[in-house]
């Protein structure tokens, strides 16, 4: 039983990290119908920036975390200006393809800069400490820190999307470009901000995942796949759906890995996805009848 509770907690923390990674994708899809595969590499680079700032420069984890968010936010804006703005009116597959190209381009950078596939640790606050609950349920401080950060990130995101003028504009844009133009929205600024937020979410996910599992040049791939599954699971473009789906998937993953074996654990998300696609293609919280 205690092992089950332990896995539940670990799954929750992993799931929350995935939810942050997926939220960036969901935001872009929700507002602009764009799927950005390069998001996976923003996660990876976010991890490396946090690594440089904390382990390299010896600064506090939160500084590294903030640096990762800002840097990847800027990277998101650069992507918007250089690629996605040009592809605005193209078919969906064009945007997917271009982002694949970007994924390949960025993917190799970290490997070139740091030169190997070695896993690098990020100094997290309370690295050694842990809370013991009852007999043998152990929760690392690092896990608690990431859970706390995730909740804070989502609180800020919720505030931005539902309580600010920018959020209203974003949601209006999601309703359709016509509505947005009617409201007198300056599109470029909004696009830049949305891509900034999405990139920053990727950076945040990278810093946290790097903190928990070390930083590697290929660390962006697995979260990217998971994030894609999560946004389909939760309904494309739905932030709340992304959070819930992230948690479910994270817990499911950890439980399967613990009780059945790591290989089957890897299989679970994809099997779940295929089943969902068959039963409910619009996801748990998606609107039906909408053309992709």
Partner 1 sequence: MDPILEIRDLSKRFGGVEAVKAVSFDVPRGSLVGLIGPNGAGKTTFVNLVSKHESPDTGSVLLDKRPIHRLPSFKVARAGLARTYQKNRLFFEESVSENIRTAMIWGGAAKHQDLSYPGLKGKEEERTAELMEFFALTAQRDALPSGLSHLHRRRAEVAQALALAPKLLMLDEPFAGFSREEAFDLIDHLKVCQKGGLTMLLIDHNMEVMLEVCEYLFVMHHGALLASGTSAEVRANPEVINVYLGAET
Partner 2 sequence: MIESLLPTRSARAIVGWSIVAAILVLLWVLVDNNYYLRLLISAGIAMIGVIPFGLLMGHMGYMAMGQGGFIGVGAYVVGCLTVQRFEIDIWAALPIAIMVVGALAYAFSFALFRLRGYHFSIGTLALGQLLYLAFDSWEWATGGPHGTSGIPRPAIGEFVFATNSRFLIIVSVFVFLAGFTSWWLARGHVGRALNAIRQDEDLAGARGLDVLRYKQLIFTFAAVWAGLAGGLYGSMQISIDPSSFTIWGSFQYVIYVIIGGAGTLLGPVIGVIFITVLDQLIADVGVWNQMILGALIVITVLFFRGGLWGGIRMLWALALKNRSADRSAVSTQAGAAE
Among 91, 115, 184, 289, binds partner 1 (CB under 8 A): 289
Among 4, 78, 88, 94, binds partner 2 (CB under 8 A): 94
Phi, psi torsion values for 214, nearest 5 degrees: 75, 165
Q: Find out whether 21 and 43 touch, Cβ atoms under 8 Å.
A: yes
Q: Tell me the per-residue interface mask from 248 to 287 with partner 1, x by CB under 8 A, - otherwise.
A: ---------------------------------------x
Task: State the nearest-atom distance from the C-beta of 51 to partner 1, in Å.
Answer: 43
Give the footprint of partner 2 on residues 103-162 (CB under 8 A). 103-109, 111-112
HSE (side-chain half, CA atoms, 13 Å) at 71: 23
73 binds partner 2 (CB under 8 A): no
Beta-bridge partners for 137: 133
288 binds partner 1 (CB under 8 A): yes
Task: State the nearest-atom distance from the C-beta of 204 to partner 2, in Å.
Answer: 23
Residues contacting partner 1: total by CB under 8 A: 3
> Of 190, 212, 42, 233, whose CA–CA distance to 127 is shortest?
212
Write out the E strands in the chain. Answer: 130-133, 137-140
Q: Which residue has the tokens 């359709």?
A: 176
Task: State the nearest-atom distance from the C-beta of 143 to partner 2, in Å.
Answer: 26
Cβ-based burial of 115 (10 A; exposed 0-12, middle 13-18, buried ≥19):
exposed
Q: Which is nearer to partner 1, 134 or 289 (CB)?
A: 289
Q: Pick one of partner 2, partner 1, none as the site partner of residue 289 (Cβ within 5 to 8 A by kind).
A: partner 1
Q: Pick one of partner 1, partner 2, none as the site partner of residue 165 (Cβ within 5 to 8 A by kind).
A: none
Beta-bridge partners for 131: 139
Q: What is the DSSP letter of 285?
A: T
> 137-150 b/e with 16+ CB inside 10 Å = b?
bebbebbbbbbebb
Number of H helices and E strands in the chain, helices first, is 11, 2
Among 128, 165, 278, 288, binds partner 2 (CB under 8 A): 278
Question: What whole-number distance in Å separates Cα of residue 148 and Cα of residue 59?
Answer: 20
Stretch that binds partner 2, among 1-9, 59-67, 125-133, 225-233 (CB under 8 A): 225-233
Measure the CA angle with vertex 142, ends 17 and 54; round to 5°: 90
Q: Find out whether 109 and 47 touch, Cβ atoms under 8 Å.
A: no
Q: Find out whether 234 and 245 touch, Cβ atoms under 8 Å.
A: yes
Q: Tell me the per-residue interface mask from 139 to 158 with partner 1, x by CB under 8 A, - otherwise.
A: --------------------
78 binds partner 2 (CB under 8 A): no
Task: State the nearest-atom distance from the C-beta of 239 to partner 1, in Å.
Answer: 16
Q: Pick one of partner 2, partner 1, none as the site partner of residue 3 (Cβ within 5 to 8 A by kind).
A: none
277 binds partner 2 (CB under 8 A): yes
Residue 167's contacts (CB-CB under 8 Å, 6 or more residues apart) are 160, 161
Enumerate binding residues for partner 2 (CB under 8 A): 29, 35, 83, 86-87, 91-94, 96-98, 100-109, 111-112, 225, 228-229, 232, 236, 263-264, 266-267, 270-271, 273-274, 277-278, 281, 291-292
Judged by the rule CB under 8 A, the positions of this chain that interact with partner 1 are 287-289
């Amino acid at each position: 039983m205690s092992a089950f509770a332990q896995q539940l907690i670990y799954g929750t923390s992993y799931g929350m990290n995935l939810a942050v990674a997926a939220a960036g994708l969901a935001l872009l899809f929700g507002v602009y119908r764009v799927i950005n595969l390069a998001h996976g590499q923003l996660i990876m680079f976010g991890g490396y920036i946090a690594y440089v700032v904390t382990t390299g420069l010896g600064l506090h984890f939160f500084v590294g975390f903030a640096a990762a968010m800002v840097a990847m936010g800027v990277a998101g804006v650069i992507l918007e200006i250089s690629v996605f703005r040009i592809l605005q009116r193209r078919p969906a597959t064009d945007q997917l393809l271009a982002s694949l190209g970007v994924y390949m381009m960025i993917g190799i950078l970290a490997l070139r800069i740091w030169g190997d596939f070695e896993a690098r640790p990020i100094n997290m606050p309370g690295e050694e400490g842990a809370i013991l609950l009852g007999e043998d349920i152990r929760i690392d401080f690092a896990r608690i820190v990431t859970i706390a950060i995730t909740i804070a990130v989502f609180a800020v995101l919720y505030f931005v999307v539902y309580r600010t003028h920018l959020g209203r504009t974003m949601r209006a844009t999601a309703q359709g470009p016509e509505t947005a133009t009617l409201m007198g929205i300056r599109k470029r600024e909004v696009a830049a901000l949305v891509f900034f937020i999405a990139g920053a979410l990727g950076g945040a996910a990278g810093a946290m995942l790097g903190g928990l599992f070390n930083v590697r040049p290929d660390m962006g791939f697995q979260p990217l796949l998971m994030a894609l599954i999560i946004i389909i699971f939760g309904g494309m473009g739905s932030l709340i759906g992304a959070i819930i789906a992230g948690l479910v998937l994270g817990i499911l993953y950890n439980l399967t890995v613990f009780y059945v074996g790591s290989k089957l654990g890897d299989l679970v998300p994809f099997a779940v996805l295929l089943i969902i696609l068959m039963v409910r293609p619009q996801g748990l919280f998606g609107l039906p009848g909408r053309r992709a």
